[in-house]
Structure 1
Amino acid sequence: MAALYEGYTLCGLVPSQNRTNSGIQGIEAERDSDHVIITDAFRSVTLYKVSDQKPLGSWTVKQGSCLTCPAVYNAHTKEYVTVSDHKVIRIWKEDDVLLDKTFKATVSSDIWRVHCVAGGDPVVLFQRGAVRLLDTLLSDPQQIVEDFLAPDETIRWSTNIVAETQQFVIFATEKKGDNFLYLQKVEPKVLQRYRLESEDSSYFPLSFSASYRDELIHLLYLYPNGHVYQSVISVWSLGADEGSQTLSLPRNLLLALSVDEDKLNAASALLLDEAHVAVVGVPHPSAGTGKDFLCIWNINFQTLQAGKEIAGKIFGQLWCYSKKLFIPHGKTLSVIPYGCTKSSLASALGKLKQSTIEETRPLVSVPSWNNILHEDKTQPTRTQETRKLRTTRKSQLTPSLTVEQVLELIKTAPVEEVQKEVEGLFSRGDIQDLTQSVGQLASSLVSRSLADTAFYSSTTLAQLVQSQSLCHSMCPDLIQLALEKKDYFLCQLCLQFFPDIPEAVTCACLKAFISMPDSDAEKMNLEPDSLSFMETLTSREHGQVGLQNGFNSSASLEDHSDVTMTKEDEGDKKSPPPEQSCPVVLQKAVLLNEVLQTAYSDDLLLPHLKDLSSQHVLLFLQYLHFLYLKYSQEPQSHGYRSPSVTQIMDWVCLLLDAHFTVLVMTPEAKGLLLNLHSFIKSQVRLFSELGKVEGGLQELQHMKIKQDMGQYSIEVIELF
């Protein structure tokens, strides 16, 4: 089963004036799974950290030049490589500021692409079909490169694959309506040409996708009529004597997607794994016309697994890195995470048997339906059975309902019966596709609960969330339902287990938690370990008064150098600070801790934080101040699901950014702001001292170590 999760915007686009393309030439992976480099169709290359949705660097060629090749990242040298004006190779590092002042070399022939994949060296593909390793080409940039293609033959697509220790460059060409595929082994150089079978329309494929597994190259291509084909090529079948002949490339039809009367113009198909294909720009089977979708199809069973409507114009471009799909549409580039589980017919039907320890039992000579269904090795005699045992056996002989039957049951059955059947479903050992089953069950339960106010099964929903096979994208109304029902235990579980909660939902939870009356909060039953942590934290007495984690609570008033102190204040300064008490009840504090640990993006969270009232912001800041003081006084490993100091500081900054003007104008916030100012200054001092220590350690590391020290020596080291 496959699923598309909640997406987010990585950056804006500047499409061309005629709106025929997105303005992006290519997206390539960088140093790790969280960094990509994006080359626009004009003059710029930008490095992005995907999780932060922020650019880390950007490089632009001068006016009059243009980039003609997507930039790639060479992991061996930690350098970026691109091509401008078809013939100028440019190489630079991340700390370089101006692209025009970095290394560049002009070659003798036009370049089509530079390719570089993990585990391989950069290779250059020229427009006439020649292939060179980048290092070999740079040793003599003006070397003559051969022409492999006919004068009227044009490259339409290319990629680079590393198979074991060999590098291969694959590119597809078009010549007067005929389509060809070239497989080039880089070292030793072996080139093989294949002819692609033509469709009735004789159109060139809209998109290609290639992957390597099991010593085979799997090529996927989509035609304008919606047909998706796959061809398989063995990389070890290439021989030096085969390069002069053109071979026929067999193909298999994987999907025959339905299209409108008009042929597809902007669409793309991408192979995700051996069983799933992502398709964009093809009409959804059950949606109306005029809507664009991103879909994941299972090619083994010809089934649509997941679909997401995409707003704005689709340009037929799609990239995939680290379980994330990158799709430009309208004026934005979106990142959509996805998940694919291993598919089989047995798991699709819910009949795949799980291995257990009990399978070590000896085999019986005659099959028994009772043994197969219930794994009963022996059966007690009727005279040994009590009334209770007979009742138990009768319930065991009742066949368990399938997922489809339980889904139908949820629509009409009472809460108790639904809860019983869902528990029975989870106790079975033949439910393999748990992600699909949990998502369907949760959606059905939430839909009925929203339609029927008398129906609500908190225990069943909590069980589904705790299975860790559910996320917010699969059931987006679950948290809102829990808030309406004031089921804060379920809210806590969702905050713990859901990795994709939107910032608007996080703020809705925060507003509900902090505005809850204390009397209602004290009646709640929450996760025991998180309650135990808060009970321990609030019951601790002050330890020794000193500098802990860079902060001394007794000296906090000394930091207010810009505040005129009265005699009464000076008298208070000499007395020890009072014991800091938690401004909220324990149950409310536990729920606020869950909010602090939820993933978010600053830019998306700030607008929603502004909806909080000044009283709620003040109370939340007081609680954050309390947490920081407790952590500073007793720095040690904290309990289960406890927020870190960094998370506390980040939320303080977010709240101050969102409500600074209101807080400055609120008299009740004056003392709190002064206290926050003092511990922020202490953090600055702490990191300053840590920076000095780091500098000293670096100096020690860079010092030249004398090899012969003798039996006794005295050495004086001056760091500053």
Structure 2
Amino acid sequence: MARLCEEFTLCGLHSGDAVRGVGSAGPDRVIVTYKDRTVTVYKVSDQRPLGSWTVKQTQKITCPAIYNSQTGEYVVVHDNKVLRIWKDEDVNLEKTFKATLAADVHQIHTLPDTEPLVLFERGVVRQLDALLSAPQQEIESVLSEDEVIRWSDTLLEAGNPVLLFVTEKDGTFHLYAQKLNPNVQHKFKLCSGEAIGCPLSFVLSLEQEGTTLMCLYSSGCIYKMQLSLNRNSAEKEQVLPQSLLLKLPSCADSLDHAAVLVLDGTHIAVLGAPHSLQCTVKDSLSIWNTRFQTLQAWKEFPEGSCGQLWCYSGKLFVPHGKVLTVIPFTCETSSLAAVLGKLKPPNAAEVKTVSTVVSWRAMLHDEQSPELQETVTHTPDKSEPKRNLRSRKSQVVRTQSQPVSLDQFLTEIETGTNEKIDEQLQQLLSNLQKHNAQLIVAQIATNLVSRCKTQVKFYPQKVLVQLLQTRMLSYSLCPDLVAVALDKADYFLLQLSLQQFPDIPEAVTCACLKVFLSVSDSDLEKVIVDLGNVASYIELDQSPSKAEEKMQIVENGFSPVLLEEDSCDVPAGKQTHNPSESDVKLTCPVGLKKAALLNEILLSSYSEAFLLPHLKDLSVPQVVLFLQYMQYLYVKYCETVNTELPGERNPTVNQVLDWISLLLDAHFTVLVMSTEARGLLTHLHKFIRSQVKFYSELSKIEGSLQKLHQLKPQKSDGLYSIEVIELF
């Protein structure tokens, strides 16, 4: 089966046909060539540009840029004949390598670990190195007059590159296959006409039988043509035999623009054709199974597409509307039952429950214990050999200490007490096997949470903590666990969930943050919370003697006194400070346990786009309290030389700054209008301004030192000399 995953936008476009080409530029990178004057390299997973280059306004890019993996260079052609070659560190495209060729270039192709091939408009193929050694070498013409190249691609045959391209002249299409070693060119004629329509899109496929060319015609039919490229000499023009691979549902009108790509041995992607006869939107992306002739997945584009489609690293790139969209996909081996929708799900009654129960009978007689076994009360077997009385008594004693099965434990969860469930869980966990442990733990947690939701008075906190401490759960396996912990205000369970679940949604993270900010420090006194190393950098600062001592210390350019804009020129002895401001700065606004809980929020994973809407639900007192705590952490970072706090689970300075920015973005207007936040914002503003001044002075010193380092040492004529160096 095949499916299309959740899409995301790589970049915006001026129009749907603004992209000239998309090519691979390494792992998780693509190079996008626009039809105007720009080439941009994007990191796909981060959806951000890594570099962008533009030609002059009088110039125009006429060929999609490619990335040469052998040299780490980019190559593009503008104004049909001018080659540009550059690297990532090059900023200005006008200062990069330039070569003017003797003929117009149609496209440049590259394959892994091979030299790029340049295809000229008149059908000649040259290696890039050979062109760079003599850019003005004469380029002959292979094609006849008015014969135009419509498509081209490359492949490796026996380790040697082969470039194939399709031409059109007066409605007649030909396929050329150009080999370079030896230099041989084959020519084939493609079928076309009113019966099958006009060829729209081509794609190469390497199969066990050899190289195959697939062609999508305007009639909605996809034909498959087997290529024979093992001849060493060029023969007369041949007509390629073709066989129907797939017939797409077509509307009354024939297709005018479409694209086809091969995803794997049995799946193809089609863009620009309807996915069903009832489809009113022609521009849709669909995945078809060519073995069973069935539709696997589809996605419609009501805003229209231009028939451009690329595929790299399991992702489809489609320009449509005014965006370039990336659509990940997955293809699995299909069976006929699954394709026809007749694959039955496994019957729960037929599937034995996974259990890791010890079989004493198997151990006594050295029998191989089955992997999946249900434990039931022992009943004598007629075929069982007779034993003496002593052996039977021993067996009864061992059977009584036999661990419970998973079925028995799940039954106990429905009606048992907390103590009984805790006792049996310890027995079950001690006998878990690695290959099925995660599934068993997830099933137990799901059943426990289901009972907690139906029975308000039932809450086995100790059992849930034990399940979390196995480190086999995730939010996806049991999403209701965090919801129950929020409902019960179980701060320790929420802390463990934030520590161990990497897939908690942003909405749930904000719900935990609201609970942590709402609880008072007095209510947390009797609650168990993992403090970590919080006490090592909070309790020390709450000591009066330490606070007075720190007022006189200036470390790493930080002064506890908030400097005014022009206070850098005031002597240190004449500077005054407000004791209240110093106290606010040196005192943590929350207790130790709340600080440990808030640290888990700062350490959690999130996406800014999804987190911001939920942060707006915080009240002004909650936002102010959280900002005060993060301000305190930032002050602590500035007091240390290595900008790190002691302990393992402490947020970094970048995480603190990111969360401060997120809160200010989400509540900027409210904070500016709020009276209770005015002092905090003023304090943050003055502190950041003093830090900016400090780093500005450091930058000046750095520049002066670099200038001194560049000066050549002067020769001294005398035995003694004095030099005066002024730093500005």
TM-score calculated relative to the size of structure 1: 0.66
Which of the residues 107, 119, 123 maps onto 1:113?
107
Match of 1:590 in 2: 597
- Give the aligned CA root-mean-square deviation in angstroms: 6.5
Which of the residues 236, 240, 263 maps onto 2:232?
240
- Alpha-carbon contact 1:48-1:55 (below 8 Å) kept: yes
Q: 1:122 to 1:665 in 2, by over 3 A?
A: same
* Larger CA deviation: 296-305 vs 199-208: 296-305
User: Tell me, what secondary structure is at the counterpart of 1:668?
Assistant: coil
- CA deviation after TM superposition for structure 1 residue 23, in Å: 1.8
Structure 1 CA distance for aligned equivalents of residues 30 and 309 of structure 2: 14
Deviations 1:675-711 (A, max 9, x none): 434553565477668868988999999999xxxxxxx
User: Tell me, what secondary structure is at the counterpart of 2:232?
Assistant: coil
Please say if 1:626 is aligned against 2:632.
Answer: yes
Structure 2 CA distance for aligned equivalents of residues 453 and 219 of structure 1: 64
- CA deviation after TM superposition for structure 1 residue 617, in Å: 2.9
Q: 1:54 to 1:428 in 2, by over 3 A?
A: same
Please say if 1:38 is aligned against 2:32.
Answer: yes
Structure 1 CA distance for aligned equivalents of residues 129 and 726 of structure 2: 42
TM-score calculated relative to the size of structure 2: 0.65
* Larger CA deviation: 21-30 vs 258-267: 258-267
Letter in 1 for 2:151: W
Which of the residues 299, 309, 312 maps onto 1:318?
309
Structure 2 CA distance for aligned equivalents of residues 547 and 301 of structure 1: 77
Structure 2 CA distance for aligned equivalents of residues 286 and 374 of structure 1: 51
Letter in 2 for 1:598: S
User: Tell me, what secondary structure is at the counterpart of 1:191?
Assistant: strand
Q: 1:558 to 1:209 in 2, by over 3 A?
A: farther
Seq. identity, %: 41
Give aligned pairs, total. 653
- CA deviation after TM superposition for structure 1 residue 113, in Å: 0.9
- Alpha-carbon contact 1:113-1:126 (below 8 Å) kept: yes
Q: 1:97 to 1:323 in 2, by over 3 A?
A: same
* Aligned residue runs from structure 1 range 207-606, under 5 A: 207-208=202-203, 222-224=216-218, 238-242=230-234, 246=238, 248=240, 253=245, 258=249, 260=251, 263-273=254-264, 277-283=268-274, 289-290=280-281, 294=285, 310=301, 312-338=303-329, 371=370, 383=392, 386=396, 389=399, 493=497, 514=517, 532=532, 534=534, 538=538, 545=550, 550=556, 552=558, 554-556=560-562, 561=567, 570=577, 572=579, 579-583=586-590, 586=593, 590=597, 593-594=600-601, 597-601=604-608
User: Tell me, what secondary structure is at the counterpart of 2:64?
Assistant: strand
Match of 1:29 in 2: 24
- Alpha-carbon contact 1:119-1:162 (below 8 Å) kept: no
Deviations 1:610-655 (A, max 9, x none): 6654433322212222332344456547655543211222332343
- CA deviation after TM superposition for structure 1 residue 241, in Å: 2.0
Match of 1:128 in 2: 122
Structure 2 CA distance for aligned equivalents of residues 345 and 75 of structure 1: 41
Please say if 1:144 is aligned against 2:138.
Answer: yes
User: Tell me, what secondary structure is at the counterpart of 2:67?
Assistant: strand
Structure 2 CA distance for aligned equivalents of residues 327 and 141 of structure 1: 35
Deviations 1:395-440 (A, max 9, x none): 69x99xxxxxxxxxxxxx9899xx99xx99xx89999xx9xx99x9
User: Tell me, what secondary structure is at the counterpart of 2:115?
Assistant: coil
Letter in 1 for 2:590: P
- Alpha-carbon contact 1:522-1:585 (below 8 Å) kept: no
Structure 2 CA distance for aligned equivalents of residues 563 and 619 of structure 1: 34
Letter in 1 for 2:319: P
- CA deviation after TM superposition for structure 1 residue 146, in Å: 3.2
Match of 1:646 in 2: 654
Unaligned runs of 5+ in 2: 351-366, 376-383, 713-722
Which of the residues 601, 617, 620 maps onto 2:623?
617
- Alpha-carbon contact 1:495-1:598 (below 8 Å) kept: no
Unaligned runs of 5+ in 1: 16-20, 352-367, 400-412, 705-715
Structure 2 CA distance for aligned equivalents of residues 206 and 300 of structure 1: 20
Deviations 1:461-519 (A, max 9, x none): x99x9779987xx9999999998998986898589756796x78876775676567778
User: Tell me, what secondary structure is at the counterpart of 1:141?
Assistant: coil
Structure 2 CA distance for aligned equivalents of residues 392 and 297 of structure 1: 53
Letter in 2 for 1:11: C
- CA deviation after TM superposition for structure 1 residue 25, in Å: 1.1
Structure 2 CA distance for aligned equivalents of residues 286 and 484 of structure 1: 50
* Aligned residue runs from structure 1 range 177-216, under 5 A: 180-193=174-187, 201-208=196-203
Structure 2 CA distance for aligned equivalents of residues 264 and 486 of structure 1: 60
User: Tell me, what secondary structure is at the counterpart of 2:677?
Assistant: helix
Letter in 1 for 2:233: D
- CA deviation after TM superposition for structure 1 residue 125, in Å: 0.9
User: Tell me, what secondary structure is at the counterpart of 1:72?
Assistant: strand
Match of 2:720 in 1: none
- Alpha-carbon contact 2:216-2:260 (below 8 Å) kept: yes
Letter in 2 for 1:146: E
